[in-house]
C-alpha cells in the first residue's frame, strides 16, 4: 500500500474592521435589525456608483505588509459576475488579475521546526448579504428572506500556496493568520460572527510524488475544529477512493458538522463562469510608495517577534511564549501584568493555568476577563509578600473572577491572611503533635511520609492559612 500525503491550500476571508463599508458610508457594525445598515449604494440600486473607502486600502496594505507581501503600485478592481439573491448587483466588486498584495508568507511551528507557508495573493472585495430560509432547509423552505446589512462590508481574501501538508498544519496556519490580523488590528476575526471564514483546497498524492492530485474545495469552514476535522475526513475519503482504484472528481464540497462528513455542493461541470472584467465604475488604484512606508511604520510587533522577545527578555520557555503570543490580547495581558509583577514565569503560569481555565469555563475572551492584569499582579504580590499561600491564592482568584473584587479586599474580607506569627502557630503545632502520637513515632522511626501528614494536619487546623515554611520549622524543632 502506497503512503499518501495531502496537499492543502487555504483561501481565507477576513472582514476588515473599518467603521464604514467599502463603497459607501454605511456602518459595518455587526447585528442590527435586518436591512437597517443599508443605503441605495450598497443595495446596488439603479444608477448608483461605488466610491472606494481609503481606509479599506490602508488596512489591506497593512495586512499585506504583515504577511510579508509585495504591495502593488498599480492595482484595480474587477467585477465577478454571478447570480445570488444576497448579492444585490448580481456581481461582486473584487480584484482579479491585479490584487493589491502578493508573494508573501507566514511561518508556523511544526514539530519544533519552523515552516514557511507561501501567500499567493491578498485582495480586497465587498461582502454579500445573508439569506434566511423560512423552512427546515434550503430545499424545504417555502420562501427566503434577505438581510443586506453585511452587503458591502470590506473583506480581504488571503490565498495561500498549496504548501500545507496536513490538517494540523492547516489549523496552525489559520491560527497564525488570525493572530497576525488581530495584531495588526485590521480585523476582529470573530469566526462565530463570520468575520473570519475559510475555504480549503485539498488533494492527495503518493508520498514523494511532485505532481498534484485532483483537488476538491471545501467551502465555509467556520472554526479551527471544523477546518481540521473536515480536512481529516476529506483526505481519508480521497485516499480510500484512490486505494479502491477510483478517480477523484474535481468539485466543490461542504462540511456537514453534525454528520462529520463532506458532501458534494457542485461539480466542475456546474462550476461558475464568473466573467471577470475590469470594474468600469472605479478608477485603477495607484498606490504611492510613501503611503506604503507610512503604513509600514504603523505595523505593531507581530506574533513571531513578540514570541522571540518574551523568550529573550523574560526567559520564558518556548512553549509559554507561543501560548501567550497566540493572541494579541493575551500577550498584551501578559505585558501589562509583568509591568506590575516582574516574575514573568509566575505570571505566565497563572495566565496559562488559572486565567485561561476560567476564561474557557465561562466562554469569555481575554478582553472581557473580569480580572484585569493589574488585579492578577496584585494577587501575585500578595503571595510574594507571604500574605497568602499559593493555594489560597487560587481560591482568591476564583473569587476575583466571580465578583470582580480586588485580591486584597477578598483576603481581608475572608480573613485569609497567612499565619506567620510563631506565637499564634506554636500552640497549634503543639496540639497536632499531642493528638497524633502515632505519626510522631513513625516519623522518629524514619518514615518521612508521617512528617507530611503532620504538616497537613496543621494546615487543616488553620484552614490552609498557616505559612508552610513556618510550620515546617516549628515541627522540626519539636520533633
Partner 1 sequence: MNLYELTAHELHELLQKKEVSSREITQSVLERIEEVDDSVKAYVTLTKEKALQQADKVDKSLASGETLGPLAGIPMGFKDNICTKGIKTTCSSKILENFVPPYNATVVERLEEAGAICLGKLNMDEFAMGSSNENSAFFPTRNPWDLDRVPGGSSGGAVAAVAADEAIYTLGSDTGGSIRQPASFCGVVGLKPTYGLVSRFGLVAFASSLDQIGPITKDVTDCALVLQAIAGHDPYDSTSANLPVPDYRQALVPDIKGLRLGIPREYFGEGLDAEVKEAVNQAISKLEELGACCEEVSLPHTEYALPAYYLIAPAEASSNLARYDGVKYGYRTEEAKDTVSMYMKTRREGFGPEVKRRIMLGTYALSSGYYDAYYLKALKVRTLIKRDFDRAFEKYDALIAPTSPTVAFKIGEKANDPLAMYLSDICTIPVNMAGLPAISIPCGFSQGLPVGLQIIGKPFDEVTILRVAYTFEQNTDYHRAKPALEVKR
Total chain residues near partner 1 (CB under 8 A)? 29
CB of 89 to partner 1, least distance (A): 5
Q: With respect to partner 1, which residue has the nearer C-beta, 282 or 428?
A: 282
Stretch that binds partner 1, among 5-13, 68-76, 79-87, 189-197 (CB under 8 A): 79-87
Residues 6+ apart with CB under 8 A from 233: 255, 260, 261, 262
Q: With respect to partner 1, which residue has the nearer C-beta, 9 or 50?
A: 50
Binding of partner 1 by 154 (CB under 8 A): no
CB of 81 to partner 1, least distance (A): 6
Binding of partner 1 by 83 (CB under 8 A): yes
Nearest Cα neighbor of 119 from 79, 59, 78, 174 is: 174
Q: Which of residues 10-29 bind partner 1 (CB under 8 A)?
A: none
As a whole number of angstroms, the distance between CA 413 and CA 431 comes to 28
CB of 46 to partner 1, least distance (A): 4
CB of 273 to partner 1, least distance (A): 5
As a whole number of angstroms, the distance between CA 418 and CA 231 comes to 53
Q: With respect to partner 1, which residue has the nearer C-beta, 66 or 93?
A: 93
Per CB under 8 A, the list member of 1, 31, 33, 49 interacting with partner 1 is 49
Binding of partner 1 by 98 (CB under 8 A): no
Q: With respect to partner 1, which residue has the nearer C-beta, 142 or 290?
A: 142
Question: To which residue does cell 502557630 refer?
Answer: 425
Bridge-based pairing of strands 196-206 and 216-221 is antiparallel
* x/- track of binding to partner 1 for residues 321-360 (CB under 8 A): ----------------------------------------
Q: With respect to partner 1, which residue has the nearer C-beta, 43 or 261?
A: 43
Stretch that binds partner 1, among 41-49, 163-171, 316-324, 416-424 (CB under 8 A): 41-49
CB of 43 to partner 1, least distance (A): 7
Binding of partner 1 by 90 (CB under 8 A): yes
Please answer whether residues 100 and 64 qualify as being in contact, where contact means their C-beta atoms are separated by less than 8 angstroms.
Answer: yes
Binding of partner 1 by 135 (CB under 8 A): no
As a whole number of angstroms, the distance between CA 41 and CA 152 comes to 9
Binding of partner 1 by 54 (CB under 8 A): no
CB of 283 to partner 1, least distance (A): 5
3-state helix vs strand vs coil in the chain, percent to 5: 40, 20, 35
Binding of partner 1 by 275 (CB under 8 A): yes
Please answer whether residues 8 and 202 qualify as being in contact, where contact means their C-beta atoms are separated by less than 8 angstroms.
Answer: yes
Please answer whether residues 198 and 10 qualify as being in contact, where contact means their C-beta atoms are separated by less than 8 angstroms.
Answer: yes
In DSSP terms, which residues pair with 6 in a beta bridge?
204
What are residue 265's phi and psi, to 5 degrees? -105, -55
CB of 90 to partner 1, least distance (A): 4
Q: With respect to partner 1, which residue has the nearer C-beta, 31 or 47?
A: 47
In DSSP terms, which residues pair with 251 in a beta bridge?
216, 267
From the number of C-beta atoms within 10 Å of its C-beta (0-12, 13-18, 19+), residue 149 rates as buried
Q: With respect to partner 1, which residue has the nearer C-beta, 143 or 445?
A: 143
- For every residue of 373-410, DSSP letters joined together read HHHHHHHHHHHHTTSS-HHHHHHHHHHHHHH---HHHH
Please answer whether residues 128 and 151 qualify as being in contact, where contact means their C-beta atoms are separated by less than 8 angstroms.
Answer: yes
**Residue 448, all three cell numbers:** 518521612
Interface residues with partner 1 (CB under 8 A) are 40, 43-52, 79, 81, 83, 85, 88-91, 144, 146, 273, 275-277, 280-283
Amino acid at each position: 500500500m502506497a503512503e499518501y500525503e495531502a496537499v492543502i491550500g487555504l483561501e481565507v476571508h477576513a472582514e476588515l474592521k473599518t467603521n464604514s463599508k467599502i463603497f459607501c458610508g454605511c456602518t459595518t457594525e455587526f447585528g442590527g435589525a435586518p436591512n437597517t445598515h443599508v443605503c441605495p449604494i450598497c443595495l446596488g440600486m439603479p444608477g448608483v456608483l461605488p466610491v472606494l473607502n481609503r481606509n479599506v486600502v490602508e488596512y489591506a496594505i497593512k495586512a499585506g505588509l504583515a504577511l510579508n507581501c509585495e504591495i502593488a503600485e498599480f492595482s484595480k478592481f474587477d467585477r465577478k459576475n454571478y447570480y445570488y439573491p444576497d448579492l444585490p448587483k448580481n456581481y461582486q466588486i473584487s480584484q482579479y488579475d491585479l490584487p493589491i498584495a502578493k508573494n508573501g508568507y507566514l511561518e508556523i511551528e511544526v514539530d519544533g521546526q519552523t515552516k514557511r507557508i507561501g501567500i499567493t495573493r491578498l485582495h480586497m472585495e465587498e461582502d454579500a448579504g445573508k439569506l434566511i430560509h423560512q423552512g427546515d432547509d434550503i430545499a424545504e423552505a417555502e420562501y427566503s428572506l434577505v438581510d443586506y446589512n453585511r452587503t458591502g462590508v470590506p473583506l480581504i481574501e488571503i490565498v495561500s500556496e498549496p504548501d500545507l501538508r496536513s490538517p494540523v498544519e492547516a489549523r496552525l496556519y489559520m491560527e497564525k493568520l488570525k493572530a497576525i490580523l488581530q495584531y495588526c488590528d485590521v480585523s476582529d476575526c470573530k469566526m462565530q460572527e463570520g468575520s473570519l471564514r475559510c475555504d480549503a483546497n485539498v488533494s492527495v498524492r503518493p508520498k514523494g510524488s511532485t505532481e498534484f492530485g485532483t483537488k476538491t474545495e471545501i467551502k465555509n469552514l467556520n472554526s479551527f475544529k471544523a477546518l481540521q476535522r473536515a480536512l481529516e475526513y476529506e483526505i481519508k475519503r480521497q485516499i480510500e477512493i484512490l486505494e479502491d482504484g477510483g478517480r477523484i472528481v474535481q468539485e466543490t464540497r461542504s462540511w456537514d458538522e453534525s454528520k462529520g462528513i463532506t458532501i458534494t455542493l457542485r461539480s466542475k461541470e456546474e462550476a461558475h463562469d464568473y466573467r471577470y472584467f475590469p470594474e468600469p465604475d472605479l478608477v485603477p488604484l495607484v498606490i504611492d510608495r510613501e503611503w506604503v512606508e507610512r503604513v509600514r511604520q504603523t505595523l505593531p510587533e507581530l506574533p513571531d517577534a513578540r514570541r522571540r522577545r518574551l523568550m529573550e527578555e523574560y526567559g520564558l520557555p518556548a512553549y509559554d511564549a507561543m501560548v501567550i503570543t497566540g493572541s494579541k490580547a493575551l500577550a498584551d495581558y501578559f505585558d501589562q501584568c509583568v509591568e506590575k509583577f516582574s516574575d514573568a514565569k509566575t505570571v505566565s503560569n497563572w495566565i496559562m493555568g488559572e486565567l485561561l481555565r476560567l476564561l474557557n469555563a465561562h466562554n469569555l475572551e481575554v478582553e472581557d476577563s473580569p480580572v484585569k492584569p493589574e488585579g492578577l499582579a496584585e494577587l501575585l504580590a500578595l503571595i510574594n509578600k507571604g500574605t497568602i499561600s499559593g493555594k489560597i491564592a487560587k481560591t482568591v482568584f476564583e473569587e476575583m473572577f466571580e465578583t470582580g473584587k480586588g485580591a486584597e479586599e477578598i483576603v481581608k474580607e475572608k480573613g485569609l491572611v497567612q499565619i506567620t506569627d510563631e506565637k499564634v502557630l506554636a500552640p497549634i503545632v503543639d496540639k497536632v503533635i499531642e493528638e497524633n502520637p502515632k505519626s510522631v513515632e513513625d516519623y522518629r522511626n524514619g518514615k518521612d511520609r508521617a512528617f507530611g501528614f503532620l504538616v497537613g494536619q496543621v494546615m487543616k487546623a488553620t484552614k490552609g492559612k498557616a505559612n508552610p515554611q513556618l510550620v515546617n520549622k516549628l515541627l522540626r524543632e519539636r520533633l
